[in-house]
Amino acid sequence: MSKLNTALITGSSEGIGRSFAEIYAKNGHDLVLVARNKIKLEEFAQELKAKYPVEVEVFAADLIPVDAAQKLFEAIALKEIKIDILVNNAGMMQVEKLSESDPQKLNNLLQLNIQSLVNMTQQFINPMINRGQGKIVNVGSIASFMPTPNFAAYGASKAFVLSFSEGIAEELRGTGVSVTCVCPGMTETKMLSHAEGMEKFIPKFLKADPMELAAQAYKASMKGDVVFLDKVANKLLVQWATHYPRWLVRGVNGLFARFK
Ligand SMILES: NC(=O)c1ccc[n+]([C@@H]2O[C@H](COP(=O)([O-])OP(=O)(O)OC[C@H]3O[C@@H](n4cnc5c(N)ncnc54)[C@H](OP(=O)(O)O)[C@@H]3O)[C@@H](O)[C@H]2O)c1
């Protein structure tokens, strides 16, 4: 098997995606960075190239439009770059009751967290299958395992990511392409600090450092793990959510949501 050379990481200007980029560069992978803010991406690309002996290309793109994945795939193909690893990390969260949500923002969330992730995977997967090797890393959440009142659409979008990832992991068995769904808990990024005061209710020991998360997730994906959870507390929470009756898990989450 030849080396899995180039990793495309969406949402790599900030947070977990930025940490993924650093970890992949540290491990010798060339990078394709994708997010909307071109200036931030270009500055980050310079920083990475100065620190590690890797090539870094930048594609500024909004992944919300329906044809975004196809356009990105074509732009990358024009530059004759082969993507060996696709990290579908870009995502958005909206902490708001459904009745109070702005419909446009809600559609954007569903489009980015679900549709764009599926479209990106579909676009980039066939060349990987043809080469007999590749890796897909989809970023879900511990919310993939339980309902999340007050940000129900976000939790449901992450449940989709987990189900989709596990489904295609089986479809791709034997092709040389593996799929890993990374399911972080609370991680110290802009997303968490912007989450309507949620951050201040979370004890420090529950919050993950994005670099540590990305480093562990990288290893899990390289091993071919299908589902990856960091931190003991997250594993326990998921055990509870998946082993206790749904009415109980739903009720407890509802109680927490009403207390906030
Ligand atoms: N932080 C947590 O506690 C946590 C927990 C579980 C799961 N996650 C998941 O982890 C992933 C990364 O989250 P994060 O906390 O690192 O978020 P973040 O700090 O808000 O960063 C989001 C990244 O996505 C990019 N992005 C946002 N909208 C985009 C769009 N329309 N098109 C292209 N790129 C877009 C942003 O860059 P631009 O603004 O430049 O586009 C940025 O690089 C998400 O899927 C999130 O759901 C996070």
For the chain, the farthest-separated pair of C-alpha atoms sits apart, in whole angstroms, at 53
Query: Ligand 1 in contact with 186 (CB < 6 A)?
Result: yes
Of residues 24, 52, 154, 218, which has the active-site annotation?
A: 154
Give residue 109's pLDDT: 98
Give residue 197's pLDDT: 64
Q: Could you tell me which residues come within 8 angstroms of residue 238 by beta carbon, excluding any fewer than 6 positions away?
A: 142, 145, 183, 229
Give residue 2's pLDDT: 60
Summarised one tens digit per residue, pLDDT across range 41-88 is 999 999 999 999 999 999 999 999 999 999 999 999 999 999 999 999
First-to-last CA distance in the chain?
Answer: 51
Tokens of 87: 């990290």
Q: Enter the pTM of the model.
A: 0.96
- Sites in the chain below the pLDDT cut of 70: 1-2, 196-201, 260
Query: Ligand 1 in contact with 187 (CB < 6 A)?
Result: yes
Give residue 217's pLDDT: 98
| Domains assigned to the chain | 6-259 (3.40.50.720)
Give residue 260's pLDDT: 65
- Which of 108, 189, 213, when mutated, tests ligand 1's pocket best, judged by the most ligand atoms within 8 Å of its CB? 189
